[in-house]
Amino acid sequence: MHKLQWIQHKIYSREDLVRECNVWRATQKKIVFTNGCFDILHHGHLDLLARAAGFGNILILGLNTDSSVQRLKGPERPVTNENDRAFQVASLLCVDAVCLFDEDTPETLIKLLKPDILVKGGDYTIDKIVGADFVQHNGGSVEIIPFVEGYSTTGIIDRIRRL
Protein backbone atom coordinates (compact mmCIF):
# COMPACT_ATOMS: atom_id res chain seq x y z
CA MET A 1 0.00 0.00 0.00
CA HIS A 2 1.34 3.43 -0.94
CA LYS A 3 2.11 5.57 2.13
CA LEU A 4 -0.47 8.18 1.16
CA GLN A 5 -3.14 5.47 1.01
CA TRP A 6 -1.94 4.13 4.36
CA ILE A 7 -2.64 7.52 5.95
CA GLN A 8 -6.05 7.93 4.27
CA HIS A 9 -6.97 4.37 5.27
CA LYS A 10 -6.75 5.42 8.94
CA ILE A 11 -9.57 7.99 8.55
CA TYR A 12 -12.85 6.18 9.23
CA SER A 13 -16.55 6.85 9.05
CA ARG A 14 -18.39 6.02 12.29
CA GLU A 15 -19.94 2.90 10.81
CA ASP A 16 -16.64 1.55 9.50
CA LEU A 17 -14.87 2.31 12.77
CA VAL A 18 -17.51 0.48 14.81
CA ARG A 19 -16.93 -2.60 12.63
CA GLU A 20 -13.16 -2.25 12.95
CA CYS A 21 -13.43 -1.94 16.74
CA ASN A 22 -15.35 -5.22 16.81
CA VAL A 23 -12.50 -6.87 14.89
CA TRP A 24 -9.90 -5.39 17.22
CA ARG A 25 -11.84 -6.54 20.30
CA ALA A 26 -12.20 -10.04 18.83
CA THR A 27 -8.41 -10.17 18.52
CA GLN A 28 -7.93 -9.05 22.15
CA LYS A 29 -6.68 -5.55 21.29
CA LYS A 30 -6.98 -2.92 24.03
CA ILE A 31 -8.67 0.15 22.49
CA VAL A 32 -7.71 3.63 23.68
CA PHE A 33 -9.78 6.71 22.79
CA THR A 34 -8.96 10.39 23.02
CA ASN A 35 -10.47 13.40 21.31
CA GLY A 36 -10.03 17.05 20.54
CA CYS A 37 -9.78 19.78 17.92
CA PHE A 38 -6.04 19.32 17.17
CA ASP A 39 -5.96 22.67 15.38
CA ILE A 40 -2.35 23.71 14.65
CA LEU A 41 -0.64 20.50 15.73
CA HIS A 42 2.06 21.16 18.36
CA HIS A 43 4.38 19.47 20.87
CA GLY A 44 1.66 19.23 23.53
CA HIS A 45 -0.66 17.39 21.14
CA LEU A 46 2.07 14.99 20.08
CA ASP A 47 3.03 14.25 23.68
CA LEU A 48 -0.61 13.51 24.58
CA LEU A 49 -1.09 11.19 21.61
CA ALA A 50 2.16 9.28 22.16
CA ARG A 51 1.39 8.80 25.86
CA ALA A 52 -2.22 7.81 25.12
CA ALA A 53 -1.05 5.18 22.63
CA GLY A 54 1.06 3.62 25.37
CA PHE A 55 -2.04 2.59 27.34
CA GLY A 56 -3.19 0.03 24.78
CA ASN A 57 -2.80 -1.54 21.35
CA ILE A 58 -5.04 0.74 19.28
CA LEU A 59 -5.37 4.52 19.58
CA ILE A 60 -8.50 6.12 18.19
CA LEU A 61 -8.66 9.89 17.89
CA GLY A 62 -12.10 11.50 17.80
CA LEU A 63 -11.65 14.77 15.90
CA ASN A 64 -14.06 17.70 16.14
CA THR A 65 -15.44 18.83 12.77
CA ASP A 66 -14.98 22.44 11.69
CA SER A 67 -18.50 23.39 12.80
CA SER A 68 -17.97 21.73 16.18
CA VAL A 69 -14.67 23.61 16.65
CA GLN A 70 -16.37 26.91 15.78
CA ARG A 71 -19.08 26.31 18.37
CA LEU A 72 -16.45 25.49 21.02
CA LYS A 73 -13.65 27.94 20.16
CA GLY A 74 -15.32 30.78 18.26
CA PRO A 75 -15.86 31.89 14.65
CA GLU A 76 -12.15 32.36 13.85
CA ARG A 77 -11.35 28.70 14.52
CA PRO A 78 -10.32 26.26 13.34
CA VAL A 79 -7.27 27.61 11.57
CA THR A 80 -6.81 24.29 9.78
CA ASN A 81 -9.84 22.60 8.17
CA GLU A 82 -11.11 19.21 9.32
CA ASN A 83 -9.81 17.26 6.31
CA ASP A 84 -6.30 18.64 6.76
CA ARG A 85 -6.41 18.08 10.54
CA ALA A 86 -7.61 14.49 10.03
CA PHE A 87 -4.83 13.83 7.52
CA GLN A 88 -2.19 15.32 9.84
CA VAL A 89 -3.12 13.22 12.88
CA ALA A 90 -3.68 10.09 10.76
CA SER A 91 -0.11 10.45 9.50
CA LEU A 92 1.24 9.91 13.02
CA LEU A 93 2.54 6.41 13.73
CA CYS A 94 0.97 6.36 17.20
CA VAL A 95 -2.57 7.02 15.86
CA ASP A 96 -4.38 3.98 14.46
CA ALA A 97 -7.74 5.53 13.58
CA VAL A 98 -9.29 8.97 13.20
CA CYS A 99 -13.01 9.66 13.18
CA LEU A 100 -14.69 13.06 12.84
CA PHE A 101 -17.59 13.97 15.11
CA ASP A 102 -19.86 16.99 14.71
CA GLU A 103 -21.37 17.10 18.18
CA ASP A 104 -20.01 19.40 20.90
CA THR A 105 -18.80 16.35 22.83
CA PRO A 106 -17.62 12.88 21.78
CA GLU A 107 -20.16 11.12 24.03
CA THR A 108 -22.09 9.46 21.19
CA LEU A 109 -18.87 8.29 19.53
CA ILE A 110 -17.52 6.91 22.81
CA LYS A 111 -20.74 4.95 23.39
CA LEU A 112 -20.58 3.54 19.86
CA LEU A 113 -16.90 2.55 20.01
CA LYS A 114 -16.82 1.32 23.64
CA PRO A 115 -13.10 1.95 24.27
CA ASP A 116 -11.25 0.17 27.04
CA ILE A 117 -9.40 3.32 28.05
CA LEU A 118 -10.40 6.96 27.73
CA VAL A 119 -7.59 9.54 27.77
CA LYS A 120 -7.74 13.31 28.19
CA GLY A 121 -5.24 16.09 28.80
CA GLY A 122 -4.32 17.56 32.16
CA ASP A 123 -6.79 20.44 32.03
CA TYR A 124 -9.55 17.95 32.86
CA THR A 125 -10.62 16.29 36.08
CA ILE A 126 -12.35 12.93 35.91
CA ASP A 127 -15.75 14.42 36.80
CA LYS A 128 -15.48 16.75 33.76
CA ILE A 129 -14.46 14.09 31.22
CA VAL A 130 -17.33 13.30 28.89
CA GLY A 131 -17.80 9.53 28.64
CA ALA A 132 -15.79 8.71 31.77
CA ASP A 133 -18.79 7.22 33.59
CA PHE A 134 -19.72 5.12 30.55
CA VAL A 135 -16.21 3.74 30.08
CA GLN A 136 -15.78 2.96 33.78
CA HIS A 137 -19.24 1.39 34.03
CA ASN A 138 -18.24 -0.96 31.20
CA GLY A 139 -15.04 -2.07 32.94
CA GLY A 140 -12.66 0.43 31.35
CA SER A 141 -10.44 3.11 32.82
CA VAL A 142 -9.82 6.82 32.41
CA GLU A 143 -6.34 8.33 32.24
CA ILE A 144 -5.39 12.00 32.51
CA ILE A 145 -2.12 13.02 30.84
CA PRO A 146 -0.30 16.02 32.34
CA PHE A 147 0.02 19.06 30.09
CA VAL A 148 3.34 19.95 28.55
CA GLU A 149 3.79 23.52 29.78
CA GLY A 150 4.07 26.30 27.24
CA TYR A 151 2.15 24.68 24.41
CA SER A 152 -1.36 25.62 23.33
CA THR A 153 -2.99 26.43 20.03
CA THR A 154 -4.40 29.66 21.47
CA GLY A 155 -0.90 30.64 22.61
CA ILE A 156 0.51 29.97 19.14
CA ILE A 157 -2.24 32.03 17.51
CA ASP A 158 -1.62 34.89 19.97
CA ARG A 159 2.13 34.86 19.21
CA ILE A 160 1.44 34.97 15.47
CA ARG A 161 -0.92 37.91 15.90
CA ARG A 162 1.77 39.85 17.78
CA LEU A 163 4.27 39.46 14.90
Q: What is the mean pLDDT of each run of 10 residues along the chain (163 residues)?
A: 85 98 98 96 96 98 98 94 98 98 98 98 90 98 90 81 84
* 75: containing domain: 3-162
- Tell me how far apart the alpha carbons of residues 145 and 163 are, in angstroms, rounded to a whole number: 32
Residues in a beta bridge with 98: 11, 61
Half-sphere exposure of 19 (CA within 13 A, CB side): 4
pLDDT at 1: 64
Q: Please answer whether residues 126 and 42 qualify as being in contact, where contact means their C-beta atoms are separated by less than 8 angstroms.
A: no
- Tell me how far apart the alpha carbons of residues 64 and 90 are, in angstroms, rounded to a whole number: 14
pLDDT at 32: 98
pLDDT at 100: 98
CATH number of the CATH domain containing 40: 3.40.50.620
Q: How many domains does the chain have?
A: 1
H or E element at residue 12: strand 11-12
Q: Please answer whether residues 97 and 60 qualify as being in contact, where contact means their C-beta atoms are separated by less than 8 angstroms.
A: yes
